[in-house]
Each structure stands twice: as structure tokens, then as C-alpha cells.
């Protein structure tokens, strides 16, 4: 951390621009200030204080801490400050300030966010082990295991290079240590914020490098941990360094708006207060200015800005039900913009955020956004995981037994730990994490049982399957989206209802093609993990695809299309059902024509000592013969089991797929794979590969399928016709 300790001046070409007096709309209207993280300048250093008296240098921290935790025990803070000050004594920052000003500033940031005493204690000590002679054993002996764990976690994070040259395995280990206690990352983010505030004396190229790392890794992490107070200020500081011209232009827009004679936000806020007063709803109505990056984004989206674009109206109430009461009154008494309504209370964001979003239109056409939330929701919206307090505090009825338990973590961080455990290698985990951090929009889709799935924008049914079922999604056959059959490659939209259709074969395999449609780390890692663990099957999928496609110019049906669940590459029953005239060879039925007894068959040797068995009229046979491939004699054995591909054509109707699969199961057919094409003109085509205990059951199976209401034809899949030469 000492490498980033520099002079306390604002970064970028405009000194004082970010942390100075210019705050959007703040000079003229009553506004609820954001958690002010800029107040601490140079702390007074008085040295160790008498026991029982708090040093004056941490008075800022104590004041902020007591505002959130009035009954907090301050002795650990006093003790930690005394140790930190004595350990860092003589160390100076590049600006010439005593080094103790840095841990004091970091601790103040966390105190104003509402962090509990243990986190603040660790924050005061977070550089002692790295930069002084203090050891982790000393920290444990004087402050306990909890503080030692946090200090150790932050120390490890300091050794991580977050840039493009980062060692993926090192990053994974450090992130795992962080994930086991989110307070470690909270301290790291506060540490980076103070270093970003004091970046002014660094060389421009070093400022730019640190700002890019902050933008690419730490700001997305702050977003996912819900710490908006840190995230927004970090964004503004990075904006000033990496885009100084745009920053200067945005600052000028804010200055000009502050000088306006009219104030549409204040007028709407007054109107909202009047509406709620008439409805006898107790609420606090405030104005929430946009930060610099937010103003810049709005200006790029809307062009010329109006007064209402520089902030939002914030309504704070006591209970969840009051939020909806406020919403009803505003939509009744004012002119709502219905398209702007979003309910993040019923469906919270992945980072714990909850609020109602709406907008009202003024007579002059200006649209004012309104946020409605409880006081507790507002605290969590600003502080995120920091507002959770101590995740290890035992419940009163569960006395602590000295063992660490899993903390209460936001869903994204829990998934992160699952990804790193499942990732086949560190590089794959690192690339997947970077992709996920780059996705800043999320959609919510609904399950038929009323549950929800949070997915990144652009996610497909493949992603939904792995989000809901984990690795059991290998058996997914297809999906219904909003009641209509859909392929697994279908891109989902916010609010869609998704019903996933699962097969019953426990040995089902994912298709390599699914990777093309998987956008979430959970899906990509699960599929890649299976392919890595089963190289023979994965190679067989690719090998057979190449052989048939190269010889016939036709993509074989036995290589699953995107969105179709692949069947077993090595046919489990084929070995005993087909005899090959090649010693030691394993026979398997080709899925391009799926022969069954008593079809006339022939075979061809493929890589891996196997023989693929085709119907003699299959187009692939002629192509392979023309290519000089030698046939291998094959014949049906005594075993009666067989695998066959059937095509059912039907009209679209509710519950058709369920009725069809039930009819197949009643005939003893085991569905190995299925493909459902998108409906056209109210007609749909299904392709099923099924395992039958006896080939003699095939006619009865086809009759049972034809008897299903809505099905007008069932036939065996036909081999691709051989193209005629001109």
C-alpha cells in the first residue's frame, strides 16, 4: 500500500474537481448528502494516549462509528490506533505526511459506511503486518482471531497484481480468501479509494495504470458487493484521470445547472411532499444528485440535458408496505411514466439492492425519476455488504464454538466461490471472471413455480438450465419460454417465464456446441469441466462430426445441434447388439441413420478402435465408399435392444410435449435425446432418439405417438439423400 501512498491532492488535470465544492445541485436545494467520504485531510498525530482516553487523531472515526453503533465498545479502536501509530512512526508518505494518516483515512471511510468495530480495528492495522515488524501472531494475541484473519486477508490481497499480467492462480487464491469474509474486500476497496483520492503526485503513466485496474476489476467488484458509495466515487476519480476532457465538460454542465434560476427537481419534490401529506403517509422526500459519471452517461444517451436530468427524487419510508402506498399515491395524483417502473423490492438485484423505481412527467415535458425505499434499504443501497455487519456473529441461541462458519454473502459472491471450485484451471477461471465483471446489466426470469433466476443480459436457456440445476443441466432437452417451445440457444429477455425440459438419463452429456450459447460462468465452467473430464467422448463427438461432414457435406444428426441434448457417444447397448468383423473393435450405431433390426447394415472403422454402424442406404455410406474407406462387415447379434431416431410432426397446443413423452414412456422407450424446432405456422417438428428394450416394440411406439392429440405424423428419421452430380 505504501507504493500508492502519495500527496492528498485530487487526480487529473483539474485539481479539486472531484473532491472540491462542486456537487451537482447541492448549492441550492435541500438534498440528502451522499455518505461523505472526503472529509478527512491530514490527521493530527499525538502519539500514544493514556489508557482509557481516546487519542484525538481518531475522533473523526469515533464520531462516525457512534452514529451507526451507539453502544459500540471503543477500547479495541483505541488499542489498535496506539499499536498502528507506534508501528508506523517514522514512516512517511510520498507527500511527506506521517504514514498513519492512511490507515486513519481508510478506517474513517468504513466507519461512515457503518462498518462494525471488528472491521474498523482490522482497518487500522491493515498495513502493520506488511510494512512493519508486527506479526500476525501479535495481532491474534492482542485482538483475537477475527481481526487476525481480516488483516491477513488484506495483506494477501496487497500482493495480487490485478492487471493483464496477473497470475491467474495467485488471483484465484486471493479472491477465495476474500470470498470467505467479505469484510476483507471492504477494507481493500476503502484502501483503494483513499489511494485514488491521493494519486496526484504520481507520474501520469502510473496514475493511468492504477486507474485502469480500478476501472476493470475493483469498481465492478464494488458494484457486485453493493457498496455504491465507494463505487460512485471511484468511478468519478477514474473518469477524471482517464477522460480528462469529458470530465471537464461534465463538470461545466453541472456548474451551469447549479446556476439555473428554476429547479424542476425541487418543485417535484415539493409536490411529492404535498401528495404524501394529504395521504397521511410519513415519508422523507429528498433530492439525490447524480454523480459525474452518471451525468456523463445521461448526456450521451439523451443529448441536451434539462434540469430534471441532474438528479432524482428520493422518498424514504419506514416499512416495505409504505413503499407501495407511496407508489400508488404518486401514480394516482401525478402523471406517471409507466415504462420507467421497476420493482426491485419484490425482485432484488444480485447485489442486495432494493427499491421501487418510477418516473413522473411535468407539464413542461420534463421527466423526473423517483426512487422509493425504506431507510434500511437505503443504508444497504449505499453500503452494500458493509451494512451486513459481522457475518460471523452467532445467534443468541447458538453460542459460538470457536469454528468459522459461512458468512451471509450476496448471491454473486457465493457463485464466485462455486466457480473457482469448479473451474478446470486457473486461466479459465480468470477469463470467466473478467467476462462476468464486464457485464453490468442483469435480467430476471421466472420459473413456473414462481421462483426467479438472475442472469446477465444476453443469457440463453442454456444459462438458465445451469443456474437452476447445476451440473444436472447436462440432461436438459429443451425449454418452454412464455409457454412456447424453444431451443436451448434462445436468448432470454427480462421477465420471461422459462420451463426447462429435463431428460431422465443420468448419463446425459452436454454438447460442445452449448459453449457457443453459454454466457454465464456457471454454465461455461460446468460444460468445460465435463468435456475436460471426458476427453474420449468429447473427441468422439468432434471426430464423428468431421468424418461424416467431410465425406457427405452434411452435418450428421448424431452431432447435436445447438440447443439439443446430445446422446451417449458410445452406445451402451450396441456392443452386445451388433457383431463386427474386426477383432477387439467396439461397434456403435451411427446417429445419422440410427439402424435397428432387421435393417441391412454396414460398418466403417473410426479413430479409437471403434466401428460405426450405418444403414446401407445412408448417404454417409456412399460418400465414405467414394472416398476409399474400407467397409467392415457387421451383423445383428442376439440382443434385442435397439436405439432409433423418430420424427414427430404436430400442431402446437398446450402440454403437447408432456403428453408425447408420457406416451413414449408407457411403451418402455427411454428418451436419450430430443430436439424441438421452433414452431412455424402453428406446427412443430420433434426429433427423438430413444432406447427400446426390443426392436419389436418400435411399431407400437410409433402408433402410441400418433395417438397423441395434435400429432399428425410419426416416422423414422431418413438418411440424407446423396446429392446428384451435374
Question: What are the catalytic residues?
Answer: 130-131
Provide φ and ψ at 606, rounded to 5°. -130, 175
DSSP for 181-214 reads -HHHHHHHHHHHHHHHHT-TTS-HHHHHHHHHHI
Rounded to whole angstroms, the Cα distance separating 303 from 296 reads: 10
> 162 — phi, psi (to 5°)?
-85, 0
Strand, coil or helix: what is 715?
Answer: strand
What distance in Å separates the CA atoms of residue 291 and residue 289, rounded to the nearest whole number? Answer: 6
Q: Where are the alpha helices (DSSP H) in 69-200?
A: 75-88, 101-113, 117-124, 128-131, 136-143, 145-157, 168-179, 182-197
* Torsion of the alpha carbons at 298, 302, 304 and 310, rounded to the nearest 10: -30
Residue burial 595-608, b: 16+ Cβ < 10 Å; e: rest = bbbebebbbbbbee
Is-cis flag, bond preceding 598, omega within 30?
Answer: yes
> What are the E-state strand segments in 617-682?
631-632, 634-636, 642-651, 670-676
In which element (H, E) is residue 684 found? strand 683-692
Neighbours of 562 (CB within 10 A): 17
Task: Return the H-helix or E-strand segment holding 578.
Answer: strand 578-580
Which cell numbers hold the place of 458? 444476453
Neighbouring residues of 631: CB distance < 8 A, sequence distance ≥ 6: 602, 603, 604, 625
Pairing, β 342-343 against β 442-446: unpaired
Amino acid at each position: 500500500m505504501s507504493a500508492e501512498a502519495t500527496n492528498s491532492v485530487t487526480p487529473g488535470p483539474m485539481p479539486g474537481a472531484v473532491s472540491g465544492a462542486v456537487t451537482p445541485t447541492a448549492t441550492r436545494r435541500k438534498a440528502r448528502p451522499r455518505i461523505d467520504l472526503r472529509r478527512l485531510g491530514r490527521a493530527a498525530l499525538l502519539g500514544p494516549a493514556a489508557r482509557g482516553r481516546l487519542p484525538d487523531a481518531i475522533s473523526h472515526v469515533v464520531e462516525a462509528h457512534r452514529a451507526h453503533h451507539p453502544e459500540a465498545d471503543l477500547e479495541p479502536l483505541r488499542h489498535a490506533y496506539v499499536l498502528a501509530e507506534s508501528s508506523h512512526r517514522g514512516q512517511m508518505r510520498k507527500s511527506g505526511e506521517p504514514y498513519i494518516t492512511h490507515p486513519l483515512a481508510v478506517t474513517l471511510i468504513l466507519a461512515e459506511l457503518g462498518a462494525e468495530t471488528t472491521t474498523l480495528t482490522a482497518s487500522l492495522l491493515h498495513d502493520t503486518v506488511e510494512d512493519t515488524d508486527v506479526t500476525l501472531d501479535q495481532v491474534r494475541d492482542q485482538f483475537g482471531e477475527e481481526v487476525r484473519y481480516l488483516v491477513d486477508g488484506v495483506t494477501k490481497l496487497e500482493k495480487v497484481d490485478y492487471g493483464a499480467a496477473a497470475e491467474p492462480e495467485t488471483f484465484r487464491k486471493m479472491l477465495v480468501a476474500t470470498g470467505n469474509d467479505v469484510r476483507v474486500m471492504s477494507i481493500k476497496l476503502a484502501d483503494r479509494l483513499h489511494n485514488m483520492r491521493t494519486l496526484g503526485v504520481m507520474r501520469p503513466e502510473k496514475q493511468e495504470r492504477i486507474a485502469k485496474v480500478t476501472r476493470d476489476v475493483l469498481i465492478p467488484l464494488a458494484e457486485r458487493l453493493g457498496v455504491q458509495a465507494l463505487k460512485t466515487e471511484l468511478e468519478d476519480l477514474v473518469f477524471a484521470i482517464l477522460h480528462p476532457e469529458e470530465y471537464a465538460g461534465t463538470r461545466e454542465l453541472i456548474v451551469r445547472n447549479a446556476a439555473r434560476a428554476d429547479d424542476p427537481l425541487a418543485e417535484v419534490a415539493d409536490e411529492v411532499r404535498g401528495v404524501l401529506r394529504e395521504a397521511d403517509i410519513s415519508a422523507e422526500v429528498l433530492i439525490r444528485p447524480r454523480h459525474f459519471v452518471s451525468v456523463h452517461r445521461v448526456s450521451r444517451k439523451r443529448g441536451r440535458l434539462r434540469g430534471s436530468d441532474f438528479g432524482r427524487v428520493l422518498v424514504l419510508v419506514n416499512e416495505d408496505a409504505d413503499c407501495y402506498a407511496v407508489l400508488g399515491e404518486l401514480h394516482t395524483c401525478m402523471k406517471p411514466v409507466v415504462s420507467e417502473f421497476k420493482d426491485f423490492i419484490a425482485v432484488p438485484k444480485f447485489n442486495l439492492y432494493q427499491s421501487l423505481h418510477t418516473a413522473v412527467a411535468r407539464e413542461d415535458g420534463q421527466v423526473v425519476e423517483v426512487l422509493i425505499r425504506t431507510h434500511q434499504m437505503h443504508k444497504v443501497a449505499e453500503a452494500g455488504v458493509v451494512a451486513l455487519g459481522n457475518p460471523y456473529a452467532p445467534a443468541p441461541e447458538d453460542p459460538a464454538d470457536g469454528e468459522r462458519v459461512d458468512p451471509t454473502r450476496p448471491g454473486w459472491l457465493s457463485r464466485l466461490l462455486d466457480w473457482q471450485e469448479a473451474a478446470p484451471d486457473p486461466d479459465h477461471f480468470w477469463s470467466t471472471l473478467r467476462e462476468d465483471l464486464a457485464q453490468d446489466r442483469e435480467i430476471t426470469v421466472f420459473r413456473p413455480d414462481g421462483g426467479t433466476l438472475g442472469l446477465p443480459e444476453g443469457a440463453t436457456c442454456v444459462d438458465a438450465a445451469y443456474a437452476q440445476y447445476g451440473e444436472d443441466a447436462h440432461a436438459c432437452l429443451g425449454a418452454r419460454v412464455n409457454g412456447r417451445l424453444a431451443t436451448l440457444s434462445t436468448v432470454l429477455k427480462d421477465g420471461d417465464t422459462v420451463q426447462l425440459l429435463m431428460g431422465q438419463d443420468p448419463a446425459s452429456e452436454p454438447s460442445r456446441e452449448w459453449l457457443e450459447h453459454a454466457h454465464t460462468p456457471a454454465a461455461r465452467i460446468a460444460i468445460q469441466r465435463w468435456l475436460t473430464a471426458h476427453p474420449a467422448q468429447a473427441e468422439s463427438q468432434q471426430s464423428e462430426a468431421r468424418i461424416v461432414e467431410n465425406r457427405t457435406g452434411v452435418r450428421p444428426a448424431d452431432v447435436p445441434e445447438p440447443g439439443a441434448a446430445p446422446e451417449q457417444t458410445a452406445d451402451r447397448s450396441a456392443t452386445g447388439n451388433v457383431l463386427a468383423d474386426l477383432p477387439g473393435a467396439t461397434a456403435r450405431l451411427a446417429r445419422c441413420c440410427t439402424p435397428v433390426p432387421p435393417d441391412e447394415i454396414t460398418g466403417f472403422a473410426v479413430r479409437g478402435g471403434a466401428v460405426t454402424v450405418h444403414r446401407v442406404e445412408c448417404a454417409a455410406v456412399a460418400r465414405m465408399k467414394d472416398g476409399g474407406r474400407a467397409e467392415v462387415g457387421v451383423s445383428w447379434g442376439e440382443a434385442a435392444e435397439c436405439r432409433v431416431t423418430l420424427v414427430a410432426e404436430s400442431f402446437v397446443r398446450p402440454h403437447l410435449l408432456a403428453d408425447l413423452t408420457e406416451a413414449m414412456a408407457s411403451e418402455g422407450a427411454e428418451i436419450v435425446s430430443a430436439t424441438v424446432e421452433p414452431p412455424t405456422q402453428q406446427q412443430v417438428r420433434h426429433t427423438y432418439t430413444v432406447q427400446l428394450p426390443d426392436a419389436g416394440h418400435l411399431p407400437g411406439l410409433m402408433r402410441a405417438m400418433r395417438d397423441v392429440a395434435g400429432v399428425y405424423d410419426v416416422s423414422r428419421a431418413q438418411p440424407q439423400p446423396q446429392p446428384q452430380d451435374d
